[in-house]
Amino acid sequence: MSTSLEQASAEVDRAEEELASQRRRPGARSAPVPQQRRRTLRTRWRRDRSLVLMTLPAVALLAVFAYVPMLGNIAAFQQYSPYAGFLQSPLVGFSNFARVFTNPAFLNSVVNTLTITVFQLVFYFPVPIVLALLLNSVISPRVRVLVQSVVYLPHFFSWVLVVTVFQQILGGAGLVSQTLRAHGYSGFDLMTNPDTFLLLITMQSIWKDAGWGIIIFLAALSTVDPALHEAAASDGAGRWRRMWHITLPALRPVVVLLLILRLGDALTVGFEQLILQREAVGAEVSEVVDTFVYYQGVVYGDWSFAAAAGLVKGLVSLALVMGANKLAHVFGESGVYQR
Amino acid sequence: MSTGTSESTAPAAVTAAARRAGVGPSSPRRRRRPAGRPVWEEPPSRLGLALKGLVLVLVVLAVAFPLYTVVLTSFSTQAETIRTGGLVVVPGELTLEAYRQILSGGVVTRAAVVSVGITAVGTVLSMVVSVMAAYGLSRPGSLLHTPLLFVFLVTMFFGAGLIPTYLLVSGLGLIDSYWALILPGAVSAFNVLILRNFFMGIDGSILDAARIDGAGEWRILLRIVIPLSGAVLAVVALFYGVGYFNAFFNAVLYINDNAKWPLQLVLRSYVLQGVALPGGGDPTSSVSGAVAGLPIKMAVVVLAVVPILLVYPFVQRHFTKGVIFGAIKG
């Protein structure tokens, strides 16, 4: 936890210094506090208590629904039974974790998760970049706005809806199969075919979120000074050379950052998307760590085993985020907190 | 460039006003693209233009065409879908029958009311709590600022996990309560940080002026900060609202009583899995066949999109401003 949080605190310190220097500047702050008089805790409390009070409802909600469950991970070290509860269930040390690491279904779910992550990194990740470059080269603002508002839209659809629409188009009774059959070809059912499942979920992800993904790249592109392009053009650089030497370097920081964030999130792949389609294609290809935890715990009632698997995932993800953050620093980027 | 001038005056005034109000981002200001192709740029080849146009049209169609067939099918008659064998592409016989059936007070109607209710209550609660927290955290150096900020940041890096959360919610007796669909996700640290970053960009001298005039923090938040933050408030409210409306898995976990199901769960069971609706409300039970009731199914799909389509146009123009300011979501 320390890296990101240290960075956060460094960020906070920097902001505080900035504020302090503003305060020292005469007239910048209207109520300059004399430097030599240290404010006591009491005056600070009197000054800031409404600010503290404002955060309390949110802090209370997080305390109950985010921090209390963190303590609930104690179930991973117990033989938890809902009737005995946390206090009465016997402690069993690390035996649940031993079961997790020797469970072939769990290992299969890890393999599936990583396969999906890598596959999407290769086939999904570049799509928004290419779309953004294409859209950025469109001159007419009207066309740009129209295309943007259409491609952003599916991001706001639910996964149930996206999967339903895909089923109606690409399923066994879907539009494409119907059309093929009507013309004498044989139809196909992409929705229940385990062999093409990776392709299917990547297509769904692209349809839903690739459009929304371009927003950040467009923002990065809009900060490029047109004078750079003009200068390069007058020096004889063609369209493609300008893209290579001006446009793409402007995208580099964003690309590196998003890539690293995705790596840090490697164990998290669309949970709702996958659980919706698990029955149709079978657990062999669609079981990921998150769905494994859900089925073992909530469906089969093996609470401690599922909690252990979930805790392993949480801790590995934390390590990955931190590692990714380190990597960001190696690349000279600002890291996770400032994204 | 006559069109350019009339277009550029209004945004220029807005940005100037925003800068005066201190709402401008700290990152480099977005540059306005001049309308039309600059003189130094070589004219595009005809082939290049055609290819570019073709790709853009295909991209737009990839999004729009499935929606079009779904909407058209929901307005078509049952006979029409049986004739085509599935979705309707060419408009034939049109009818409102599907909508009349699902909106006549059955399972779908109730689910729609549940979903809209949860979304409304949840979004209001989330926004009130998040805006307050974001403003409370917007002054570095204030009392307890750093530890309070950490409380939010930690939740972004380490999630407690599904099992402990489920055990907590059931332990609190929230199973089959609508609060189970609202409270666990009511505060998103991410959204709080987006709001906070925006609030921190507001010029401190305005706030100080108000403070000298005797305004307390609550009044400053209500009268100055919130009115200056329309764009980011709209975008974050959309994020929260869409989150509540689209969530289906928390209902799978926490709502066992299928009379209380939200719309997404009905959509999954009835449309995706083809299960007959519970509670005897299935209007197609008398019709057999794989594609029976396809217009009705598609009408349920449309019903699940309409609320989003209704608010989307109003929030959409704020995306770049609201999203890029704070952080990037999604």
How many Å is the Cα radius of gyration of chain B?
A: 25
Domain contains A86: no
* Averages of pLDDT over each 10 residues, chain A, 339 residues: 46 53 47 56 87 95 95 90 85 92 94 94 94 88 89 93 92 85 84 90 94 88 86 86 89 84 83 91 90 94 94 92 82 57
Closest CA to B185 of B174, B173, B196: B174
**Could you say which of A33, A53, A78 is where a domain stops?**
A78
Mark yes or no for CB contact B304/A174 under 8 Å.
no
With an 8 Å Cβ cutoff, is A118 touching chain B? Answer: no
Taking the CA of residue A171 and the nearest CA in chain B, the distance in Å comes to: 11
Whether residue A187 sits in one domain with residue A283: yes
Domain contains A216: yes
With an 8 Å Cβ cutoff, is A294 touching chain B? Answer: yes
Mark yes or no for CB contact A75/B149 under 8 Å.
no
User: What is the average per-residue pLDDT within B72-84?
Assistant: 87
Residues of chain A numbered 193-252 and touching chain B (CB < 8 Å): 207, 209, 211-213, 215-216, 218-219, 222-226, 229-230, 233-234, 238-239
Mark yes or no for CB contact A161/B304 under 8 Å.
yes
Closest A-chain CA to B263: A160
Q: How far apart are CA B287 and CA B94, in angstroms?
A: 20
Tokens 């996990």, residue? B161
Closest CA to A266 of A225, A322, A185: A322
Tokens 């000298």, residue? B212
Handedness of CA A167, A172, A173, A178 (dihedral sign): positive
Residue type, A11: E
Domain contains A49: yes
Contacts of B319 in chain A (CB under 8 A): 152, 215
User: Higher confidence at residue A266 or residue B132?
Assistant: B132
CB atoms within 10 A of CB B163: 29
Domain contains A90: no
Residue type, B96: L
Mean pLDDT of the residues in chain B: 81
Q: How far apart are CA B142 and CA B64, in angstroms?
A: 50
- 3-state class (DSSP) for residue B172: coil
Contacts of B196 in chain A (CB under 8 A): none
Whether residue A266 sits in one domain with residue A186: yes
Q: What is the pLDDT of residue B55?
A: 93
Asked if residue B315 lies in contact with residue B187, where contact means CB atoms within 8 angstroms, the answer is no
Domain contains A10: yes
Whether residue A273 sits in one domain with residue A187: yes
> Which of A58, A134, A181 is opposite residue B187, by nearest beta carbon?
A58
Handedness of CA A71, A73, A78, A79 (dihedral sign): positive
> Which CATH number does the domain housing residue A259 bear?
1.10.3720.10
**Could you say which of A23, A43, A78 is where a domain stops?**
A78
- What kind and span of H or E run contains A41? helix A41-62
Q: What is the pLDDT of residue B100?
A: 87
> Which of B143, B160, B247 is opposite residue A70, by nearest beta carbon?
B160
pLDDT for B6 beyond 50: no
pLDDT for B282 beyond 50: no
Mark yes or no for CB contact B161/A212 under 8 Å.
no
User: Higher confidence at residue A104 or residue B291?
Assistant: A104
Q: What is the pLDDT of residue A190?
A: 85
Whether residue A137 sits in one domain with residue A29: no
pLDDT for B289 beyond 70: no
Q: What is the pLDDT of residue A189?
A: 85
Phi, psi of B213 (to 5 degrees): -75, 5
Q: How far apart are CA B20 and CA B23, in angstroms?
A: 8
pLDDT for B172 beyond 60: yes
Taking the CA of residue A243 and the nearest CA in chain B, the distance in Å comes to: 13
Helix pair A126-136, A104-123: axis angle to 10 deg: 20
Taking the CA of residue A245 and the nearest CA in chain B, the distance in Å comes to: 16
**Could you say which of A29, A46, A78 is where a domain stops?**
A78
Whether residue A312 sits in one domain with residue A268: yes
Mark yes or no for CB contact B166/A163 under 8 Å.
no
Find the domain containing A195 and state its range: 95-330
Whether residue A107 sits in one domain with residue A34: no
Q: What is the pLDDT of residue A60?
A: 97
Looking from the CA of A154 toward its CB, the CA atoms found within 13 Å total 29
Mark yes or no for CB contact A54/B135 under 8 Å.
yes
How many domains, in total, are found in chain A?
Answer: 2
Global pTM?
0.83
Mark yes or no for CB contact A51/B139 under 8 Å.
yes
What per-residue string of b and e applies to B136-149 under the rule 16 or more CB within 10 Å gives b? bbbbbbbbbbeebb
Can you read off the two tokens belonging to residue A308?
């252990």
Q: How far apart are CA B232 and CA B322, in angstroms?
A: 4
Whether residue A99 sits in one domain with residue A66: no
> Which of B130, B164, B166 is opposite residue A58, by nearest beta carbon?
B130
- DSSP letters spanning B51-71: HHHHHHHHHHHHHHHHHHHHH
Domains delineated in chain B: 46-95 (no CATH), 105-326 (1.10.3720.10)
Closest CA to A157 of B248, B182, B283: B248
Residue type, B45: S
- 3-state class (DSSP) for residue B76: strand
Calculate the CA dihedral of residues A164, A167, A173, A177 and round it to 10 degrees: 140
CB atoms within 10 A of CB A167: 23
Contacts of B63 in chain A (CB under 8 A): 150-151, 153-154, 207, 211
Whether residue A102 sits in one domain with residue A64: no
Determine which of A156, A228, A229, A243 to mutate to test the interface with B (most B C-beta atoms within 10 Å): A156
What's the start-to-end Cα distance of chain B, in Å?
A: 38
> Which of B148, B170, B328 is opposite residue A55, by nearest beta carbon?
B148
Domain contains A210: yes
> Which of B155, B170, B319 is opposite residue A152, by nearest beta carbon?
B319
Whether residue A151 sits in one domain with residue A275: yes
Whether residue A26 sits in one domain with residue A143: no
User: What is the average per-residue pLDDT within B157-176?
Assistant: 91
pLDDT for B34 beyond 60: no
**Rounded to whole angstroms, what are the CA distances from B16 to A87, B11, B320?**
61, 8, 18
Phi, psi of B272 (to 5 degrees): -75, -45
> Which of A29, A157, A303 is opposite residue B305, by nearest beta carbon?
A157
Q: How far apart are CA B69 and CA B84, in angstroms?
A: 12
Domain contains A150: yes
pLDDT for B1 beyond 70: no
Residues of chain A numbered 297-326 and touching chain B (CB < 8 Å): 297-298, 303, 306-307, 310-311, 313-314, 317-318, 321-322
Can you read off the two tokens belonging to residue B291?
């594609």
Mention every residue, 6+ apart, whose C-beta is less than 8 A from residue A98: none
Whether residue A257 sits in one domain with residue A171: yes
Place B131 in a pLDDT band, splitting at 50, 70 and 90. very high
Range from A332-336, B2-6, B85-89 that averages highest in pLDDT: B85-89
Phi, psi of A338 (to 5 degrees): -85, 10
Domain contains A231: yes
Q: What is the pLDDT of residues B194-209, one digit of tens each?
A: 899 889 888 889 998 9
Closest B-chain CA to A147: B60
A282 backbone φψ class: left, alpha, beta (φ>0; ψ -120 to 50)? left
Q: How far apart are CA B17 and CA B231, in angstroms?
A: 14
Q: What is the pLDDT of residues B49-74, one digit of tens each?
A: 899 999 999 999 999 999 999 999 99
User: What is the average per-residue pLDDT within B115-125?
Assistant: 96
- The number of C-beta contacts closer than 8 angstroms across A and B is 325
Whether residue A177 sits in one domain with residue A45: no
Q: What is the pLDDT of residues B96-109, one digit of tens each?
A: 888 888 888 788 89
Contacts of A164 in chain B (CB under 8 A): 267, 271-272, 301
User: Higher confidence at residue B93 or residue B299?
Assistant: B299
Contacts of B205 in chain A (CB under 8 A): 28, 30
Q: What is the pLDDT of residue B324?
A: 58
